[in-house]
Amino acid sequence: MMPVVMILKLDVLLSDKVFDLYSQSPWVTGSQMAAISDWSLFVGLELLSEGDCFGAVIHIYNMLQQLDVECKRIPILEHLQTLFKSKVFAGRSEPQRSFSSIFELFCGGAKILQAQGVRLLHRSKPKETCVSSKFSKISLAEMHSSTTQSFFHLYMPSAKFWTRLTDNPRIVQRYTTHENLFAQFPPSDTIRRAEEIIRPEYEGAFPIARLNCFAVLRLCQDIMLAIAARFQVLGTAAWPPGMEDIGSPSVLHIPSGIEPYVKIEVAVKCVRITMILIDGLLDGYALTRKRSDVGYSKMWKEHPDAMRPVVVMRDTIAEVCEGKKVEDFLWKSM
């Protein structure tokens, strides 16, 4: 569900006249197209932030690459991970271990301080009534992009954006009103400078301004639903032997042939359990290896039973993404 403020702003945007002579001028029409593009990206990023579907896919893919389980590089997931790693991963870089803890931070988990040091608070199911969880969840829409400026500042440059425009960190303190700012910096020159700043968002192999978030969301949904379906078919065979005898979660016993159980929430549970298993295995494996051996490239070959769910996810992601092209997830240039 979209936030109330977004709905109100969309109502204002849609209520404007667009067929009068004024709206048909090239300058205004260009501004309207820019607004449509900004809104599409902002709404799309908000949708990607909802739930844990997108984050789960990126975290799974990173784990597959870090564990070196012979997972082929998938171009679209490579681009998405590079573009959003500063938001999806706590610490702004791809984690090489503690996969479950870092995934929980993306889902809205919090850090708690204990006598032994900082420990991550795990939640197998995020509490909707928990205020700290709701507001600590990472939002992809908060990325530093021009669309964020458009949404929050009604196309008036924010203080940070003025600093980028002028390379002067005290510019807003010196000129307290927009009239004074534009008197010092003519609009034509300001627009040219803004173009230089914003242009990288539209250029390159995978520019954020051209990202079709709706196609990305559909891909992630397809991946997660396929994971749930695969684990349903395999049942306990998808997990290390003995897990059903130690009070493991009910997700290990997904009823076969019942369609409602093939859903994203079930797939996220499978991801959580898998990451916890792998983190435990990594901790034990690290005790017998040098600190410099952080790749664990041979671990899955030495512990094939423990790596069963990882292999299932690897094969499922490869199958869903087969034939997918990067350009399928970018809006086409006119």
- 293 C-beta neighbours (distance < 10 Å), count: 13
Does the pLDDT value for residue 193 go beyond 90? no
pTM: 0.77
pLDDT of residue 236: 84
Average pLDDT over residues 93-101: 86
Interior/surface letters 129-155, b for 16+ CB within 10 angstroms, e for the rest: eeeebeeebbebbebebbbbbbbeeee
Distance CA 83, CA 94 (A): 12
Q: What is the 3-state secondary structure (H, E, C) of 52-95?
A: CHHHHHHHHHHHHHHHCCCCCCCHHHHHHHHHHHHHHCCCCCCC
Looking at every residue in the chain, the average pLDDT score rounds to 76
pLDDT tens profile 217-263: 999 999 999 999 999 888 888 888 877 665 555 666 666 656 666 78
Cβ distance 88 to 138 under 8 Å? yes
Distance from the Cα of residue 10 to its chain's centroid:
23
CA atoms of 170 and 168, how far apart (whole Å):
5
Return the SS3 of 79: helix
15-53: per-residue pLDDT in tens?
A: 766 666 555 565 555 666 766 777 788 888 888 888 889
- Note the pLDDT of residue 38: 76
pLDDT tens per residue across span 116-163 = 554 545 444 444 433 334 444 567 766 666 666 665 556 666 777 777
Alpha-carbon gap, residue 229 to 258, rounded angstroms: 10
